Amino acid sequence: MDGSDVFRVLLLANSPQSFSLTRQLLERSGCECHFAASVEAAETLLKLWQFDVVLSTHRAASYTIRRLVSSLSGSDASLFTSLLVEEGSWWLPILRFGKECYEPALPVRDFTRVLEDLRNQIRLKR
């Protein structure tokens, strides 16, 4: 295995506990997860590895998301940020394969399918 088939996910939040359930699901499905507590730490990791997906708990219009968009634009990475709603949280797509996307937010139950679709598309590209 040369690492080209690894599906790498970067998790960005103030605390690793923010992603405890999500991380378990991702790792059970074979994803390699990395955590960053700040945008600076995330940018350092982005220089070390190519990430397929970046998940953030920061608001869509925040400074952190704007910096991530700048860092990831033109890459093959997809960026999602969480939206807190009454019944939990949804995932809002910001970038899809390094390009801005304007898609509706996804409830967690649908997000798993979207991640699997991304993995399949990435496998075809590699």
DSSP-derived secondary structure for 21-61: HHHHHHHHTTEEEEEESSHHHHHHHHHHS--SEEEE-S-TT
Q: How many domains does the chain have?
A: 1
CATH of the domain at 112: 3.40.50.2300
Structure pTM? 0.89
Q: Tens digit of pLDDT per residue, the chain (126 long)?
A: 445 678 999 999 999 888 888 898 889 888 999 999 999 999 999 999 999 999 999 887 788 899 999 999 999 999 999 988 877 789 999 999 999 998 899 988 888 889 889 999 988 887
By three-state DSSP, how is residue 120 classified? helix
Domain containing residue 111 = 7-125
Tell me whether residue 111 is in a domain: yes
76: enclosing H helix or E strand: none
> Do the domain assignments include residue 2?
no
Residue 29: predicted pLDDT: 85
What is residue 6's predicted lDDT score, i.e. its pLDDT?
Answer: 86
Q: What is the pLDDT of residue 102?
A: 85
